[in-house]
Amino acid sequence: MLANIYWKRILVAVRNRGTLIWTWIFPLMMATLFYFAFSGLNEAELLKNIPVGIVTSDEYKNDTAFQTTLTSVSDPEEGFLSLTEYDTEEAAKEALKGGEIEGFIHLENGSPNLSVTKNELNQTILKSFLDQYVQMKHTVVSLIEEGVADVSQILSLFETESWTEALSLSKNPPSETVSYFFALLAMVCLYGGFQGLDSVSYLQANLSSMGIRRTISPVKRFPMVVFDLLAALTVHMACLLFLLAYLVFILDVDFGANLLPVIVTCLFGSFLGLSFGAFVTAVSRAKEGMKVAVIITVSLTCSFGAGMMVSGINYKIAQTIPLLSWLNPAARISDALYCLYYYDGYSQYFLNLGILAVMALVFSIITAFFLRRQRYESI
């Protein structure tokens, strides 16, 4: 009997068109939209080599040190300049005007002169580079003139290009886009509310005719509720796993090396969504359309707060109104996924899961309080 309740409830959930659209198709569309909208975002964050011209005057041809320096920073893989040679200054000016290059260098009396038409980031980088070159050249020449014999010693001073070492604080490289997908997954978790709504509606005699049939049946209420909700959870988890598989295997979204804790996060999120929907349905006698509207509004609002529509809004909320951030289930789900992606430790991750569990339990207890009633004032 209970197996039949479980299995038939799964059939009902899977064949429900509204559920199909909102929890299966809509998130896939959103994910695909995000994928195409944000696919260039990470690449855009990287610096591209700056196109720069050099006038190959006689002075330049004789300055092998400067030539070597320019060649070393024009490496396509590791350099930051994309060098183009021009025979004359006029030719370089034409290229600058035409926008082919960001600036050009012309050696004059042993010093490199930079000509630019704009004053932006790339021009600033070029100027800093040339200033540094001039300073280093002056230092080396001065040391030689003062009689420092061992040139290798001098050169070793400049071999250490940086006194600091760049270390990544996170397991994975920073990514602008993953947070959108984390928030999307959080939104779908909260859409479990639709399943919770259906489960309670089908059970309560004052909410549906099916509820009348089930309430007057000889089946005890508790096992009926448990098996119904288990079926709803099964279907919603299947939906989340389907979305996760689409994100990971089709869209190639990186959720970190280990997917198991991601799935555990989905399970907690799904349970929360389900209990939230059950809570909304059990405590109110409003029409079903109104309850659906409440679930959608809350889910979308929480997802907005988790950064699904505006990148970084979740951090701003966490900084300005931390309590709101802690109470936002979508932000907790998103943050749990964020922790798995960036951090080595699990303390913050478990804290987020704990908060989700507490919220789900509170909703469940209140719902159980309303569901325990088997006789109604009115139907």
Partner 1 sequence: MIHVENLVKRYGKLVALDHFNLDVKDGEIFGLLGPNGSGKTTAINCILSLLTYDKGEITLFGKPMSPTNYESKRKIGVVPQNVAVFNELTVYENIDYFCSLYVPDKAKRKPLVEEAIAFAGLSDYRKFLPKKLSGGLLRRLNIACGIAHKPDLIFLDEPTVAVDPQSRNNILEGIKALNASGTTVVYTSHYMEEVEQLCSRIMIMDKGRAIATGTKEELTALIHTGEKLTVEADGLPLSVLEQIRNLPDVLRADYAEGHLKADCKGYGHPVIDVLDLLRQSGVHFGQVYSEPPTLNDVFLEITGKQLRD
Structure tokens that stand for 315 in this block: 């951090």
Report the distance separating Cα 119 and Cα 105, nearest Å: 15
Q: Which is nearer to partner 1, 135 or 209 (CB)?
A: 209
Q: Decide: is 377 part of the binding site for partner 1 (CB under 8 A).
A: yes
113: β partners: 106
Among the listed residues 342, 359, 348, 378, the one whose alpha carbon sits nearest the alpha carbon of residue 174 = 342
User: CA-CA distance, 234 to 228, in Å (whole number)?
Assistant: 10
For partner 1, which residue of 177, 215, 265, 303 counts as binding (CB under 8 A)?
215
Please report how close the Cβ of residue 241 comes to partner 1 at its closest, in angstroms. Answer: 21
143 scored as a contact of partner 1 (CB under 8 A): no
Query: Is residue 187 within 8 Å of 270, Cβ to Cβ?
Result: no
- Euclidean distance between CA atoms 28 and 24, whole angstroms: 7
What is the Rg, in whole angstroms, of the alpha carbon atoms belonging to the chain?
32
Q: Which stretch, 10-18, 125-133, 175-183, 268-276, contacts partner 1 (CB under 8 A)?
A: 10-18
Tokens of 229: 């909700």
216, 257, 260, 323: which one contacts partner 1 (CB under 8 A)? 216
Nearest Cα residue to 238 out of 261, 200, 270: 270
Site string for partner 1, 144-183 (x = CB under 8 A): ----------------------------------------
The SS3 assignment for 219 reads coil
The residue type found at 211 is G
Please identify which residue in the block is written with the tokens 């092998």. 64
4 touches partner 1 by CB under 8 A: yes
Instruction: Write down the residue that tokens 């490496």 correspond to.
Output: 75
Closer residue to partner 1, CB minimum distance, 212 or 313: 212
Work out which of 219, 250, 361, 362 binds partner 1, going by CB under 8 A: 219
Closest CA to 262 of 198, 377, 172: 172
User: Which lies closer to partner 1 via its Cβ, residue 22 or residue 268?
Assistant: 22
CA distances from 266 to 109, 279, 330 (A): 67, 19, 11
CA distance 346 to 297: 31
Nearer to partner 1, 23 or 265 (CB): 23
Return the residue of 117, 132, 135, 374 that touches partner 1, per CB under 8 A. 374
At 283, the amino acid letter reads V
127: its two tokens: 């100027």
| Residues between 312 and 341 with contacts to partner 1, criterion CB under 8 A | none
Told to check if 8 binds partner 1 by CB under 8 A, we report yes
Q: Does 5 bind partner 1 (CB under 8 A)?
A: yes
Q: Which is nearer to partner 1, 287 or 375 (CB)?
A: 375
C-beta of 211 vs 269, nearer to partner 1: 211
Piece in contact with partner 1 (CB under 8 A), picked from 53-61, 212-220, 236-244, 265-273? 212-220
Size of interface with partner 1, in residues (CB under 8 A) = 30
Question: Which of 208, 234, 311, 348 touches partner 1 by CB under 8 A?
Answer: 208
For residue 15, the minimal CB distance to partner 1 (Å) is: 4
- CA–CA separation, 304 vs 184, rounded Å? 10
Contacting partner 1 (CB under 8 A), which of 209, 284, 297, 301?
209
Q: Which residues lie near partner 1 (CB under 8 A)?
A: 1, 4-5, 8, 11-16, 202, 205, 208-210, 212-220, 374-379
